[in-house]
Structure 1
Amino acid sequence: MIDRSDTMRKKASKPHDESEMAAEALREIERRFQVLTETMPAAIFLYQGDKYVYVNSAAEQITGYSKEELLRMNFWDWVSPEYQDILRERGLARQRGEKVVSRYEVKYRAKDGREGWADFAAGRTEYGGRPAVIVVAFDITKRKMAEKALQKSQYILSKAQEIAHVGNWAWNLKNDKMNWSDEGFRIFGYRPQEIEPSVEALLSHVHPDDRDMVRKLAEEIRRGHKLGSIDYRIIRPDGSIRYVNTVADKLVRDAEGNPSWVYGINQDITARKQAEKALLKSRAILARAQDIAHVGNWAWNLKDNGMQWSDELFKIFGLKPGELQPTYEWLLTRVFPDDMGMFKAASDAAIHENRLFNIDLRIVMQDGSIRYLNVVADKIKKDKAGNPEWMYGIIQDVTGRKQIENQLRDAREQAELYVDLMGHDINNMNMVALGFLEMADDKLKSEGRLDVGDEHLIHKAIENIMNSSMLIDNVRKLQRQRAGEFKIKAIDLMDVLSSVKCQYANVPGRDVKINLNARCQCTVFANDLLRDVFSNLVGNSIKHSSGPLVVNIDLSCQYEGGAKLCRVAVEDNGPGIPDGLKAAIFDRSHAGKKLRSKGLGLYIVNTLVTDFHGKVWAEDRVPGDYTKGVRFVVVLPAIG
């Protein structure tokens, strides 16, 4: 017999068991959900109504709040104020079943005040039988910062390219398409992305005269043979012409080793090209102005004594532009010896005392001619330590001006000289000759004859007439010298001195011995009148002495400031010259009446030596005792 009550109990307990099983299954699902969410790196939020009902550990890390704190908060409380309203509206609308955006980025503010960004993915679900929203959030703060930094760098790059007129490009060698930066479009006269960039598009804008050149480079790049740089002209859509520099600096090959991509830049160099043209024009104008004015500029490196010269300065020194590397030492070799000390002193004062200078000096050209220069130092640049580093200035060839000044002075001096000679020297000689002739004439008239003792009357008259003729001949030589009729050439001093020695080898009625000692070979730039210099000196020794006479001629070489000089000393054992007259004997304008009556001998010597850019002076043969004879010294610049 079946126990009905037992059966009824079993039937009553079955629904209870099924409910327990369902609850257990639900708890198992929740446990698995929690295990899954707690191990996920993403933050999981589950909210219902306004409140969270579940958050995982990752949510604590993003927000900085504990789970307990989050479960007491509205689901929008931890986002930044500007996003709270939209987050609340979307969350509530989604619970109502409305269609809203499911993926979006939200700016948040953590518990400690730090701000960041989260990427939200939200979906509608049910929790406890009621609508809820589950949100998966990833912290994208670092990505946002990287994006912001990238945007900033791209902006800076874009502005830098815009300012520098530089655009970068990439060329796909497979299809000839190109990628240009925004500035790349602007360089060619377009708005960014206004045209589809390609090699053919680029070539279509290249100036016809430059197109073959650009196409050739493009083909070499395409074959992977060459990367490089090229300048060319383009024509913009508005017709304006611009200069562009294109640089291809990187080639990428595919897996088979074939060229696939080329990268480089385009730069608008119009301003630079215009500046270069303007610079070339200004240099040409400056060079022309310097050529006309005979002015050259220079820069002197005070550290190594190297110099930089303009083209005109090379020409001033008789050189071709760039023929040599000028240095201060080389410049000194060209400065006239008498001006060397002045130039060095001015340079030293500029360097050590910051005293700029403006001086006139002479230089010796390669052909021996002399040029007059005005040298100006107008700026000194110092290094960081305050030491002079560079000196700048100009040099002007003032030879023409100096020649005019010298010609005016010489003309005045010659006029005064000729008046003096005609009115004094020649007149005196003629009067003396006339006096002796009148005495001889009186003797003839009174006695009808001249005795042997009267010969001196005729000889003295002849001597004065010959002196007068010699003086006139010397004047002619001076005139021809001033007129430049005697050609300057290289002359061996030994040949000249040997000729003078032969000239006075036999002096009638005198015992004269001439010794010639040459201690070096010396050549100078002069003319045929150089012989007159030494002939006058030797003749002067013979003329102003009596009895036996020894004349010593000594030739030697010496150096002053790196320049070679020829030194000739002519000395005798005659009566000598007092100290007070040693300088005056060469200058008629300062000579006394007695000296002026001697004619032009030593004046010609001084004039010629000066014209040959040398010096002459008189000194005692025996220092301190002028009565033991005189020594005339002539110093001339040597060749080589």
Structure 2
Amino acid sequence: MAIRYDITARKEAEEALRRSESCLAEAERIAHLGSWIWDARSNEVRGSDELYRIFGLQPQDPTASRVAFFDRLHPDDREAVRRVIQAALQEERGCQADFRILLPDGSERVASAQGEISARDAAGKPRQMMGTVQDITERKRVEEALRESEERFRAIFEQAAVGMAQLSPTGQWLQVNQKLCDILGYSRSELVQKHFQEITHPEDLADDLDCIQQMLAGKVSICAREKRYIHRNGSPVWAKLTGSLVRDAAGEPKYLIAVVEDVSARRRAEQKRQRAEAKIRQMNAELEQRVAERTAELVAVNRELEAFSYSVSHDLRAPLRAIDGFSQALLEDHAELLDPEGRRYLERVRHATQRMSHLIDDLLGLAQVTRSEMRWATVNLSEIAWQVAENLYAAQPERQVEFVIAPDLHTEGDARLLKILLENLLGNAWKFTSRRVPARIEFGRTQFDGGPAFYVRDNGAGFDMAYADKLFGAFQRLHGASEFEGTGIGLATVARIIARHGGRIWAEGKVEQGATFYFTWPALAGRLGASCNAAASAVEPPQSDKA
């Protein structure tokens, strides 16, 4: 005999249960959510595979009692979890707790557990609890990272050296930092009750609104510009504004972030610089006008000087030659008709006319030095000095004079003018040593203020330093014409030459103990040369301890 049962329905139900349990286990695995049942009498815990994985235990370990699960709790969290469970059992309510799990490899997980009383004994006391444990390690990590990020943002926001603010798309201040309050002069409570349009300079508002519209339309992501706010006291505040739009997950405008840097000081400095530049341009224009006028005057003066030179050269020389010639004729042809005193008078007339002729020559030479064009080149001053010395020897071979000229003294300058300079300085030394036997004249180079300076030194008559400021003026003489001949033009000519080279000249001396003339200029001075008016400053002597 046999009995056959149709178990199709049971098998289908078992298969459906198996599929349901499989789906539940997969869902728990995906959600990192384990389920558990705790029997209070046996202290046994039965849980899903995901629960064991969360606690780092082998799935369905028969030895995994409540104690085994508690042993995996972080020591610092065990007591808190125990109190939560005890309170739930005593007060017969559900419980919830977050705790840390220590895994065998030393790592930690963070879990969140919930539980409810699921069965009671005959006396109504809790006999069983069931619940879930979810691994929230990743969520906690994200929450912690978000918290740290918010704290950093808050610190940056509050401690920034520039003003920062959060605004609604309509322009209302939502959050502001203290620096922005300092810049605009409002308190936080006052500022968050306003829209930025209320404290923007009217002339800058249209541009601000245009920037916002472009960001809302997605044309630009950041807008930066300089604008003016109105301070609480009514004064304008120049600021550099950088704004950006933050959108939500759906791409809709959420709020604006603004960074405001106070640039009022820089703006004031720029305005001051612009005013200074405008003033300089005005002064330059006035100076150019004055230079043009002065140039025109100088051109006119030069023409007058040329006319004067022509007159001196031709109109004055002829009468002088006539006076000298007729005086000489009287002395040669009619000397017997004159007594000795009359002949002496004629000699004095001739001497005066000749001296006048020399004076005219020197004046013309001085004018030529002032007006002639500079031709710069490398000049060997030593060679020129020897040429001048040879000419002086040839003119008075009976003189006993020792020349000491340093070799290879080169410089940059106008060769013709420098020759005139040395002719005058060496000629002066030759003249003022005429009463010295033997006489000595030196030409060399020394150091002055870190650069080269040339000098001409003699052991002649010298001069009193109290009158040194008169040396380089025209017609200024420290010795009478009866002592030493001359017109008083030579050193004035020297001063003009030095001035045209952009340099200076000075002298030192003592009466009857000789004199030294120093002169210097930059080796590569400006090619334009100095004007005649610079001669006065060029001859100013330095302090004696520097000379």
Question: TM-score of the superposition, structure 2-length normalised?
Answer: 0.43
Q: Which has the higher strand share?
A: 1
**TM-score normalised by structure 1 residue count:** 0.37
Which structure carries more relative contact order (alpha carbon 8 Å, separation 6+)?
2
